[in-house]
Amino acid sequence: MLVNGIWTKDWQPVQAKDEQGRFIRQTSGFRHWITPDGEPGPTGDGGFKAEKGRYHLYVAYICPWASRTLMVRALKGLEDYISISVVNPVMTDQGWQFGHADGADFDELNGCDYLHQLYTKVDPQYTGRATVPVLWDKQKQVIVSNESADIIRMLNSAFDHLTGSTVDLYPEPFREEIETLNQRIYQQLNNGVYQAGFASSQFAYEEAYHNVFSMLDELESRLADGRPFLFGDALTETDVRTFVTLVRFDAAYHGVFKCNRNLLAQMPHLYAYTKRIYEIDGIAKTVRIDHIKQGYYSIKALNPGRIIPVGPDSIF
């Protein structure tokens, strides 16, 4: 991680833990918002007006948080408005690296070798981890946001007056329910698999394990009535946030994170739901099974030999 702008030690997956060994995730450090007119959003400063070609996303196909932003970029028709760079899926001793892998990009925009150099370009005294996604402003040469939940929310509406998109992933009638379910899915499933995988005590692992499968069972039951998505006929941001964990489950979390009560493929409603979202136009190209396996199984703390499993070689 970075301390006062200096890379201090080899990358480690566990950022912090509590007294019972629970994995604690770092809070995002950049929380500005793109808005239609450049006025300030819910947090941070103003001055980030929605404009075609002004913004850039730094992402990793391995990362579910970054993949949220890729999905919304595709669903909202923003591929020609926001460019992207994909980092190498294998974490190095200096964190995320650019290039040097199939499907990974060199940083043609800023000339960085490692993502942490982008953070210190903005703040030479930055302290913290250099994470993806990063939403970059080419005009101001600053990080707009590194919080995926904020990024998907702003991409949902900030560019609509330019693109004409009518897709709404955060519809007004469901907002209260979306917020409630988002939080529960984040705690038990999205972050829950990481709490299981990075637990530093048996107690913390088992607690997280049971939380993960309790939520999976709940979602399986919710979809049993035949609804296509979690809130009915319309895809929402809650489906995006859920999909990115589900699509990685059998290939990564079942094995390397020890969430192994059963495979997602053994839960028929959730499996069909995940496949349904995967088949929406533009979504399949946001998923790289090779990057997912390479990334998770190259975490030395969890897989010292860094042996990558041969299968699965496809999602479905």
| DSSP-assigned states of every residue in 190-257 | ITHHHHHHT-SSHHHHHHHHHHHHHHHHHHHHHGGG--SBTTBSS--HHHHHHHHHHHHIIIIITTTT
Residue 281 pLDDT exceeds 80: yes
Q: Which domain does 14 fall in, by range?
A: 2-163
CA neighbor of 272 nearest in space, from 218, 215, 223, 214: 223
Considering its fold, how many domains does the chain have in total? 2
35 and 159, same domain (yes or no): yes
**pLDDT number for residue 18:** 75
Cα end-to-end span (Å), the chain:
36
How large is the average pLDDT for residues 233-245?
A: 98
For 33, the token pair is 């918002």
262 confidence band (pLDDT: 50, 70, 90): very high
Report the CATH number that the domain containing residue 117 is assigned in CATH: 3.40.30.10
35 and 140, same domain (yes or no): yes
26 confidence band (pLDDT: 50, 70, 90): low
130 and 10, same domain (yes or no): yes
Strand partners, 58: 85, 134
Residue 17 pLDDT exceeds 70: no
**pLDDT number for residue 3:** 92
For the chain, the maximum distance between any two Cα atoms, rounded to a whole number of angstroms, is: 53
Taking only the tens place, the pLDDT of each residue in 118-143 is 999 999 999 999 999 999 999 999 99
10 and 159, same domain (yes or no): yes
50 and 187, same domain (yes or no): no
Question: Annotated binding residue at 11?
Answer: no
145 and 180, same domain (yes or no): no
- Catalytic site residue 259? no
Average pLDDT value over all residues in the chain = 95
**pLDDT number for residue 203:** 97
311 in a structural domain: no
Cα–Cα dist 288/269, whole Å: 23
176 and 221, same domain (yes or no): yes
Count CA atoms within 13 Å of residue 78 on its CB side: 32
Residue 220 pLDDT exceeds 70: yes
Q: Which of 163, 196, 217 is the last residue of a domain?
A: 163
131 and 227, same domain (yes or no): no
What is the 3-state composition of the chain as percent helix, strand, coil, each rounded to the nearest 5? Answer: 40, 10, 50
Cα–Cα dist 244/71, whole Å: 9
90 and 238, same domain (yes or no): no
Cα–Cα dist 2/63, whole Å: 20
Write down the catalytic residue from 194, 209, 273, 296: 194
Q: Which of 163, 190, 214 is the last residue of a domain?
A: 163
Write down the catalytic residue from 55, 58, 61, 63: 63
- Catalytic site residue 81? no
Q: What is the DSSP letter of 61?
A: T
196 in a structural domain: yes
**pLDDT number for residue 9:** 72
Report the CATH number that the domain containing residue 214 is assigned in CATH: 1.20.1050.10
How large is the average pLDDT for residues 240-249?
A: 98
Neighbours of 84 (CB within 10 A): 15
Cα–Cα dist 224/273, whole Å: 10
157 and 258, same domain (yes or no): no
Question: Annotated binding residue at 129?
Answer: yes
Question: Annotated binding residue at 147?
Answer: yes
For 169, the token pair is 């992933």
Question: Annotated binding residue at 96?
Answer: yes
Q: Phi-psi bin for 85: left (phi > 0), alpha (psi -120 to 50), beta?
A: beta
**pLDDT number for residue 299:** 95
CA neighbor of 119 nearest in space, from 24, 41, 44, 28: 28
Neighbours of 91 (CB within 10 A): 22
For the chain, count helices (H), then strands (E): 10, 8
11 confidence band (pLDDT: 50, 70, 90): low
Strand partners, 83: 56
Q: Which DSSP helix (H) or strand (E) runs through 73?
A: helix 64-75
Question: Annotated binding residue at 122?
Answer: no
**pLDDT number for residue 199:** 96
22 confidence band (pLDDT: 50, 70, 90): confident
**pLDDT number for residue 16:** 66
Phi, psi of 194 (to 5 degrees): -70, -35
157 and 216, same domain (yes or no): no
Could you give the angle at which helices 237-248 and 268-278 cross, rounded to 10 degrees? 110
Q: Which of 121, 137, 163 is the last residue of a domain?
A: 163
Q: Tell me which of 3 and 23 has the higher pLDDT.
A: 3
Contacts of 115 (CB under 8 A, 6+ apart): 58, 87, 95, 96, 97, 98, 130, 131, 132, 134
